[in-house]
Amino acid sequence: MNLESPHKFRGLVGQAHRVAEHFFRPISRKYDKAEHEYPKELDMLAALLDGMNAGSPDAVGAGSASKRGAARDEAPGVRNGGNMSALLGVMELCWGDVGLLLAMPRQGLGNAAIAAVANDEQLQRFGGQWAAMAITEPGCGSDSAAIRTTATKDGDHYILNGEKIFVTSGERASAVVVWATLDKGLGRAAIKSFVVEHGTPGMTVTRLEKKLGIKASDTASISFNDCRVPASNLLGNPEIDVQKGFAGVMETFDNTRPLVAGMAIGVAKAALDRTRQLLKKHCAMDYKKPLLSVSHAEATLYRLEAEWEAARLLTMKAAWMADNKMPNSKEASMAKAKAGRVANEVTLKCVELAGVMGYSEDELLEKWARDSKILDIFEGTQQIQLLIVARRLLGKSSSELK
């Protein structure tokens, strides 16, 4: 088992780290204090990323997180493809700033959703879009199967009705991937995802949320009132397969959950690195000594580093499995659960270890602690991830284990 980052992506990792250090970090506090103000500096960075991806078989970013890339090459052997490159880039960029990454054009979770389930024609058509993802509803939080937004077939269109909340980049993105049910009576199997472009009649951004963290990213509520969407905007297979159930639309999470776990790993690494610097004068950082013979602060830091490493390896495994066309639903949930919890613990403990400096706006530690909380919530809460893992391990269905 090779636990190193793939050699072919080391240039990408280095480049992403430099962007995080020299581009994200200098404007991080500015947009934390200016919530809902669009970071105009990101336009240039997004354009550079588009240029890197043009015609490249090893594209980077959210749109490359797909099992489709692995299907092009059926030759035997281990593959490191779009999921791994997207993950490694996300880790480094979130070492700089999670909110700014989420605010980057064409790097939304909706882009990963399109990459995961769209057909080839849709990939071509929506390739240049910046796509948000709209799942959560006022009466439906972590239980995605309880979605009440409806999509009714009307000739060559679907008519969407419902409300979505907590849509990351919901106002700024050029399109939103909306989860809706074709038939409430058929349960999970009838839930499909639709690309709805901003400006479509019947789609309205109703408010922007004020948040604890990731303030550089806008978070919107969106209503759909008789919103007509072309039938060709339904991602993937339009047929309702009761046997397959929710599996089709859940493929999205198999790709996006490792990315969110990567965000958590990135911000936790930022906190660990900075805390190590701040404690350098007080802690020898001698890893050869047993924990009982070092200070409490030093022992705590070592424990946090071990937890971080475990989360990193789980997440890389989930992405690697996706690149190699392996079922990774359990592993994606394991990575998301572990990384989200670890990021919360690491960032808060680092604030504690740094004392007054950690709690002050003179340091970014307090911001990272606030930013990390959402990473344990969206794309499925900690509790939902543990429930999914339990179902997979015990061979239970969602109706058998709630």
Residues designated as active site = 379
Maximum Cα–Cα distance across the chain: 73
Closest CA to 364 of 47, 28, 86, 51: 28
Phi-psi region of 351 (alpha: psi -120 to 50; beta: other; left: phi over 0): alpha
What DSSP character marks residue 142?
A: S
Distance in angstroms (rounded) separating the CA atoms of residues 401 and 391: 7
DSSP string, 133-201: EE--BTTBSS-GGG---EEEEETTEEEEEEEEEEEETTTTSSEEEEEEES-GGGGGGGEEEEEEETT-T
- Which sign does the torsion angle of CA 318, 376, 108, 97 carry? negative
Asked whether the CA dihedral 208, 209, 215, 219 is positive or negative, the reply is negative
Q: Nearest-CA neighbor of 39 among 115, 128, 103, 120?
A: 103
State the residue for tokens 């429930």.
387
How buried is 197 (Cβ within 10 angstroms: 0-12 exposed, 13-18 middle, 19+ buried)?
middle
Beta strands in 267-386, from DSSP E residues, in sequence order: none
CB atoms within 10 A of CB 402: 9
- Find residue 4's DSSP bridge partners: none
Beta bridge partners of 153: 158
DSSP 3-state of 49 = helix
Instruction: Kindly give, in sequence order, each residue whose CB lies less than 8 Å from that of residue 225, ignoring residues fewer than 6 positions away.
Output: 161, 202, 204
